[in-house]
Chains A and B, each alone.
Chain A
């Protein structure tokens, strides 16, 4: 006999499992763990955080400042560091907008239309997450490198891609493209297309519908995706390392610059530049928290009761 057929017994069973009595006889919720368990769980996670996160972070700043403030600031005001910063920002400045466009288009088509090969497209979007960044870089070398498929043609027309900035941008684009799309797809699927249909029936054009209805409905998810995408675009090492010629002052990004400095035993400078990336991560985290806080606040505001009472139900 199923539980549904015997509701009294099953109700009794659930109420017993949810509320029990501890040794002193007081009622307690089943989800209240004994103090020892609570303490152990918290200490394990704290210890883990300290070892893998906090100590390395502190180490970066300690090493960065080991030789004093002067060396610290000199490390990223020198010509090569400035060039690396420029390449990094350029890469992000190209990749993020392109991925926003791609992410919106992909999420829009997946959420609002039915077509053949849709599930294949969804899986393909995840591909860069599943593939090692080094492979992502090698793919572009295979495609555009001197011995690759398109390399000789590109070379003949004087349009080098590999070992140049376009290669860095392409590799970064590939690695970062899931971020925006991944954030938008579930949200847009959940929202459906009723609001768009309503807008169209009210006389709005396609563009008006997009700017006034679709985009505002996903703005926070979009911003969240942009933040993650930007962080990855600036921090990517593996894929970029493969396609860059690692020429200082020309095709170096910040992560590559750190590695070069480190390999030259220039520890203080390496960590100083690394600290810049860490600061960037902090900015990203702060931005992410602000976005999350805004989402929660909007949601709360929308639920807050106002004074006016219902006129007619």
Chain B
């Protein structure tokens, strides 16, 4: 089921959590709301679920499959909500937790107890918790609890599945496993899902599309590839992955770093001004000697080769720290040590103009 949001604002006292947000989510999509804490992503999720209400003054609209649900209570929206801290009913067994959504239906719509039992078993199998139905939430590990919470949310056959930092309380290893599992599960059941996370890796790995949020507004919406490789704003550039920032300028429309013109950054309308040049660590190369192309000198200050790439920290003569990700092959070939004098070659760069409107 598709979800359309428009004119969603929300303030808590003088704090504005959401400013006029609009968003469309296609049927069957898995979308990640990504942003730092305080960016409004959880508030937006709770508004979609009906656990919170948007400010009414500028005609906010929440449409599920073209049907306005803004005034429907949470209980009628058929939304499955998964909480960061699971929120499993602690006094009920896992079986009863999953069955809850079916048991509270009005008598006429309530399935028979055999049907409930069959459905719960099926869901427990789906989330790989067969045989654990009799346990209580406190007897499960964190990862198991979150899967139980997911089964409980799926039991009401939700039209939309909302996950609020579902893996936030788990340790890194478990989180990684569950991430891949969630993606597989989504491919299997295809329910429209929205995942809130502050972990860019999680969003990049799991989501079909990512909505990057900052200060109550949407910065960019796009596929993981788009937001990572073609960030629309300075914020998206900085939030997704590591960056090196250089202070450059524009001269006659040409972006310059120091005295060097940057290839492919020509801004016809812009005559003069400051520019910020961004380069990701993997978009830089290290060579021991200077050749014809654009480069700048630096000294290696730290090397961390423990990983799939060697993370090299360097310092320019002006004192700026520059991070470079080097393939392990290159790292061994260059025989770098701390203190080596090298030249850094940008393979790709992006230019943003700092905001002067403030």
Contacts and interface: CB of A to CB of B under 8 A. Distances in A.
Given A202-B100, A202-B104, A204-B100, A197 B83 contact: yes
Contacts of A204: 75, 100-101, 104
B101 A203 contact: yes
Interface residues of B, number: 47
Contact of A302 (B50, B75, B136): B136
Interface residues of A, number: 28
Contact of B51 (A195, A197, A303): A197
A198 B149 CA distance: 9
Nearest to A306: B135
B139 A302 contact: yes
Interface stretch (A152-160, A208-216, A229-237): A208-216
Contacts of A208: 104
- For B101, B104, B141, the residue with the greatest tally of chain A CB atoms inside 10 Å of its CB is B104
B173 interface: yes
B75 A200 contact: yes
A68 interface: no
A201 B90 contact: no
A203 B138 contact: no
Nearest to A217: B91
Contacts of B51: 197, 200-201
Given A194-B85, A197-B87, A203-B101, A304 B49 contact: no
Contact of A201 (B49, B92, B136, B141): B49
Interface in B126-149: 128-132, 134-136, 138-139, 141, 143-144, 147, 149
Give the interface SS of chain A, mostly helix, strand, loop or mixed. helix
B177 interface: yes
B235 interface: no
Contacts of A219: 91
Nearest to A311: B128
Interface in A69-106: none
Contacts of A202: 75, 100-101, 104, 152-153, 155-156
Contact of B177 (A197, A306, A313): A313
B79 interface: yes
Interface in B295-344: none
Given A201-B49, A202-B152, A202-B156, A313 B105 contact: no
A197 B84 CA distance: 13
Contacts of B85: 194
A26 to B, nearest CB: 40
A216 to B, nearest CB: 5
15 contacts: A197-B81, A198-B87, A201-B51, A201-B79, A202-B75, A203-B75, A204-B75, A212-B104, A304-B139, A306-B139, A311-B129, A312-B128, A312-B143, A312-B177, A312-B181
Top-4 shortest CB links A-B: A194-B87, A202-B101, A201-B81, A204-B104
